[in-house]
C-alpha cells in the first residue's frame, strides 16, 4: 500500500499522450461509452414508454379522476361547497341544480352525469334524466318543484352523494374495489353483504395462482430432473415435448382442453366406455375452477420446467454419488444433497408461474365458468360491459401493484438477467 503511494508521488500524476491527466481522459472515455450504451437503449426505452407505460399510467389516473359532476354541474358544486351535509341543502342549491340540469341536458352531458351518479347510488339515473327533461319549465321555489318531480330530491342521501361526487378526484373507486363504500355520513364502511365480491375474487385469484404454481412444481420437478439426468441425445428429444406446448397458441391449447374435458368430451367418453363411470355419472371437469386450474397448469408448466432444468443441469452428478457412497440412502441423499441445490430453480419457476398466473384472462374466461373466474375477468367486465372504467382502473391498479411487487421480488431473488426462454 505505502509502496504504491510513494511510487505515485515519485512519478507525479500519470499523463496521457497529449499531456492531459490520464484519469480525466479515462473518465471522459468512460462517460462517452456510458452515453453510447445509454444511447443504444434509448430508442427502445422511448418506444416502450410511449406505447406501453404511459398508457398504463394514464389508465391508473382514471381510477381517481372524477371530472363528470365537477365539470358539468358547476353551479350545484359551488352551492354545495359550504353545505354541512345535515338535513337537506337550502333553496339556492336546488336553484343551482335546476340551472345545471337545463344546461347539462342542452349539452347532452346529462347522461354521463346520471351514469356516474348511478354507480354510486342505484336508481339515480332516471331521477336525473327524468327531472332534466322537465327542468326547463320549472319555476321558483325550486325546492318544491324538484321534490314534486321526484321524491328522491328530498332525500339527504342523494345530496350527500352529489356533494361527494363534486370533488374532481375520488377514492370511491378504490373503496369499491375492496368491497367498501362511503355511508351517508362519509364514513368508510363495508359494502352490503350481497354486493361484496372483489375481495373474494382477489382471494380466489391468489388461490388459483397458488394452486397452479404448486401443480406446476409437482409436475415440473420430475420432468426437469429426468431431462437434466438423461444423456443429451434423449433429453433433447424430450425437451421438444416440453417446448412444443410453449410454442403452441394459447387458444389452441384452451380449445384442446374444452375438447378433452367437457361433459361429452374425450375423457368422459373414455371413462364411460371403459365403465369407470356411468352415462349419467359424467363428471363436470370444465367450466369451473377445476377447468381453469388444469388448463392453466398445462399452459404454464414449461415456465416451471425451464428454470428448474437450467439449475439442475449445473448440479454435478458426482454429489449424489458421493452422498450414496458415504452411506446415505437414496432418499436421504436426494433430500439432503440434491434438493437443496435446486431451491433457486424452484424459487425462480414458482415465482414466474405465480406472476404470470395472477393476471390470466383468456383461459379463465373460456373454461372458468362460474367458479373459475379471476380478477382480470372482472376488469374486462367493467371495461366492456358495465362501462365503469374508473372501477376497472382501480381493480387494475391493485392487481398491478401486486404483480410489480412480485416482479420486484423476482428480480431481487432471481435476477431479471436469468430469465430463460427455451
Partner 1 sequence: MLPIYAGPLETTWYYTFRVICGLILLFLIAPILVVIPLSFNAEPYFSFTPGMLSFDADAFSMRWYEDIINNKQWIHSAKNSVIIAFFATIIATTLGTVAALGLSRPEMPYRGAIMGLLISPMIVPLIISAAGMYFFYSEVGLTQTYAGIILAHAALGTPFVVITVTATLTGFDQSLIRAANNLGANDTYTFFKVTMPLIMPGMISGGLFAFITSFDEVVAVLFLSGFEQRTIPRQMWAGIREQISPTILAVATILVIISVMLLATIELLRRRSDRLRGLV
Partner 2 sequence: MSKSLLLSTVAAAGILLAGAASAGNLTVVSWGGGYTKSQVEAYHKPWLAMGGKAINSEDYNGGLAEVKAQVESGKVVWDLVDVELSDAVRGCDEGLLLPIDKSILPAGDDGTPALKDFLPGTLTECGVASIVWTTIYAYDTTKFSGAKPTTMADFYDLKKFPGKRGLRKGAKSNLEMALMADGVAPADVYKMLGTNAGVERAFAKLDTIKGSTVWWEAGAQPPQMLADGEVLMTTAYNGRIFGAVATENKPFAIVWDAQVWDLDLWVIPKGAPNVADALKFVAFSTDTKRNAAQASWISYGPVRKSAAPLVGKHATAGIDMKPHMPTAPGNFKNALQNDFAFWADHADELNEKFNSWLAK
Among positions 363-402, residues that touch partner 2 (CB under 8 A) are 369-371, 373, 378, 381, 383-388
Q: Does 202 bind partner 2 (CB under 8 A)?
A: no
Sign of the Cα torsion 193, 198, 202, 208 reads positive
Q: CA–CA separation, 237 vs 281, rounded Å? A: 39
Q: CA–CA separation, 206 vs 218, rounded Å? A: 18
Q: CA–CA separation, 331 vs 337, rounded Å? A: 10
Q: Does 292 bind partner 2 (CB under 8 A)?
A: no
Q: Which stretch binds partner 1 (CB under 8 A): 95-103, 124-132, 251-259, 336-344?
A: 251-259
Cβ at position 139, least distance to partner 2 in Å: 25
Q: Which of 344, 340, 400 is nearest to 202 (CA)?
A: 400
Please give the grid coordinates belonging to residue 410.
423476482
Among 2, 4, 122, 187, binds partner 2 (CB under 8 A): 122
Cβ at position 295, least distance to partner 1 in Å: 9
Residues 290-319 that bind partner 1 (CB under 8 A): 298, 301-302
DSSP state letters, 121-172: STTHHHHHHHHHHHHTT--S-HHHHHHHH-GGGG-HHHHHHHHHHTSSB-SH
Cβ at position 59, least distance to partner 2 in Å: 13
Q: Count the helices and strands in the chain (H runs, E runs).
A: 23, 2
Contacts of 317 (CB under 8 A, 6+ apart): 229
Residues 171-210 that bind partner 1 (CB under 8 A): none
Q: Does 276 bind partner 1 (CB under 8 A)?
A: no
Q: Does 416 bind partner 1 (CB under 8 A)?
A: yes
Length of the chain equals: 422
Among 78, 111, 147, 407, binds partner 1 (CB under 8 A): 407
State which residue, 263 or 325, has the beta carbon closest to partner 2: 263
Residues that bind partner 2 (CB under 8 A): 43, 107-112, 114-115, 118-119, 122-126, 129, 194-197, 200-201, 204, 262-264, 287, 369-371, 373, 378, 381, 383-388
Amino acid at each position: 500500500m505505502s509502496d504504491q503511494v510513494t511510487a505515485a508521488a515519485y512519478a507525479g500524476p500519470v499523463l496521457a499522450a497529449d499531456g492531459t491527466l490520464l484519469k480525466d481522459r479515462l473518465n471522459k472515455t468512460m462517460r462517452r461509452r456510458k452515453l453510447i450504451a445509454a444511447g443504444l437503449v434509448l430508442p427502445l426505452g422511448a418506444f416502450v414508454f410511449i406505447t406501453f407505460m404511459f398508457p398504463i399510467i394514464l389508465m391508473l389516473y382514471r381510477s381517481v379522476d372524477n371530472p363528470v359532476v365537477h365539470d358539468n354541474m358547476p353551479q350545484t358544486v359551488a352551492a354545495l361547497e359550504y353545505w354541512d351535509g345535515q338535513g337537506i341543502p337550502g333553496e339556492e342549491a336546488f336553484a343551482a341544480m335546476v340551472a345545471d340540469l337545463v344546461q347539462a341536458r342542452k349539452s347532452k352531458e346529462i347522461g354521463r352525469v346520471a351514469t356516474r351518479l348511478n354507480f354510486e347510488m342505484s336508481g339515480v339515473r332516471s331521477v336525473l334524466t327524468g327531472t332534466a327533461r322537465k327542468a326547463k319549465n320549472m319555476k321558483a321555489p325550486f325546492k318544491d318543484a324538484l321534490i314534486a318531480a321526484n321524491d328522491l330530491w328530498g332525500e339527504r342521501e342523494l345530496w350527500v352523494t352529489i356533494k361527494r361526487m363534486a370533488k374532481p378526484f375520488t377514492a370511491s373507486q378504490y373503496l369499491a374495489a375492496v368491497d367498501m363504500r362511503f355511508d351517508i355520513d362519509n364514513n368508510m364502511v363495508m359494502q352490503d353483504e350481497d354486493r361484496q365480491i372483489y375481495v373474494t375474487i382477489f382471494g380466489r385469484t391468489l388461490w388459483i395462482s397458488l394452486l397452479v404454481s404448486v401443480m406446476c412444481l409437482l409436475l415440473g420437478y420430475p420432468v426437469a430432473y429426468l431431462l437434466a439426468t438423461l444423456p443429451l441425445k434423449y433429453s433433447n428429444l424430450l425437451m421438444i415435448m416440453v417446448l412444443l406446448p410453449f410454442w403452441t397458441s394459447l387458444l389452441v391449447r384452451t380449445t384442446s382442453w374444452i375438447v378433452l374435458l367437457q361433459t361429452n368430451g374425450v375423457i368422459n367418453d373414455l371413462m364411460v366406455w371403459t365403465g369407470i363411470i356411468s352415462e349419467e355419472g359424467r363428471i363436470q371437469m370444465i367450466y369451473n375452477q377445476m377447468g381453469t386450474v388444469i388448463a392453466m397448469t398445462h399452459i404454464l408448466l414449461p415456465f416451471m420446467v425451464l428454470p428448474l432444468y437450467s439449475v439442475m443441469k449445473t448440479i454435478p452428478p458426482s454429489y449424489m454419488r458421493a452422498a450414496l457412497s458415504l452411506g446415505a440412502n437414496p432418499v436421504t441423499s436426494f433430500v439432503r444433497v440434491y434438493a437443496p441445490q435446486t431451491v433457486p430453480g424452484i424459487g425462480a419457476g414458482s415465482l414466474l408461474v405465480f406472476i404470470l398466473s395472477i393476471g390470466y384472462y383468456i383461459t379463465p374466461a373460456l373454461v372458468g365458468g362460474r367458479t373459475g373466474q379471476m380478477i382480470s375477468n372482472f376488469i374486462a367486465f367493467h371495461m366492456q360491459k358495465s362501462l365503469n372504467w374508473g372501477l376497472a382502473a382501480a381493480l387494475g391498479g391493485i392487481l398491478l401493484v401486486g404483480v410489480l411487487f412480485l416482479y420486484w421480488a423476482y428480480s431481487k431473488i432471481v435476477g431479471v438477467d436469468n430469465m430463460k426462454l427455451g
